[in-house]
Amino acid sequence: MNVQKNETDHLEIGHRTSAANSAPAAPDFLCQLLAAREERALVQKNILSSSSGGCLVQITVNVPGCPKRIENDEAVVQIAEAFFLRGANVRETVRVSLVNGAGVALLLFFPSLDPIAAKKTGIDVESTPLWGRALDIDVIARNGILTRKDVSLPARRCILCENEAKICARERRHDIGELRDAVRRMLTCAQVEI
Ligand SMILES: [Zn+2]
């Protein structure tokens, strides 16, 4: 793992993998994915432990199947960051870019941002541009992760049909290749739109 400190409180953590890399054999991939998710959770915990209030915002691309990297993922996460900062009208005090086997995650900490306000802004970014549907913008407060229910909104829709995304995923209603292609197209749109 490479840890580079760019400037105060701005970190880049990465195990650089190309978006085009093919996935290792399934058991290896699963172990790597679990370890990568654990690393992400650890970074979240470390950032949150630095303050008693505020919230952590994590921007990721929701990549179906594996590998968890996909073309343009880092660029689009940064575009989403700009949208979020503009919408929330606030600056982060900690910014960590984590790239590992779980994909790209940008973690931003806001010591004085209300978690509900952050969740609403995150949902705006997820729903306003068409490509926002490919993103996951999670808001994590000290007492846990916020859900769409916390802001009285229904669950997210699937990117291919109008059903609830979780149900389509659980029942494996769509071909992974089709889902990945849909995400790929959305990320390309995001880059063209800017
Ligand atoms: Zn569906």
CA of 120 relative to ligand 1 center, distance in Å:
24
CA of 160 relative to ligand 1 center, distance in Å:
5
> How far apart (Å, rounded) are the C-alpha atoms in residues 149 and 138?
13
CA of 187 relative to ligand 1 center, distance in Å:
19
Cβ atoms of 80 and 132 within 8 Å: the answer is yes
Q: What is the pLDDT of residue 24?
A: 53
Q: What is the pLDDT of residue 160?
A: 95
Which residues are found with C-beta within 5 Å of the ion, ligand 1? 158, 160-161, 163, 168
Q: What is the pLDDT of residue 9?
A: 66
Order the strands of the 2-7 sheet from edge to edge. Answer: 2-7, 10-14, 94-100, 103-110, 55-61, 135-141, 144-145
Q: What is the pLDDT of residue 5?
A: 41
CA of 184 relative to ligand 1 center, distance in Å:
16
Q: What is the pLDDT of residue 134?
A: 96
CA of 179 relative to ligand 1 center, distance in Å:
9
Cβ atoms of 48 and 142 within 8 Å: the answer is yes
Q: State pTM to two decimals.
A: 0.88
Within 6-137, residue ranges assigned H as helices are 26-48, 73-88, 115-127
CA of 168 relative to ligand 1 center, distance in Å:
5
CA of 62 relative to ligand 1 center, distance in Å:
14
* Domain chopping of the chain, boundaries: 2-193
Q: Tens-of-pLDDT digits for all 194 residues of the chain?
A: 444 444 446 777 776 555 544 555 577 888 889 999 999 999 999 999 988 889 999 999 999 999 999 999 999 999 999 999 999 999 999 999 999 999 999 999 999 999 999 999 999 999 988 899 999 999 999 889 999 999 999 999 999 998 999 999 999 999 999 999 999 999 998 877 66
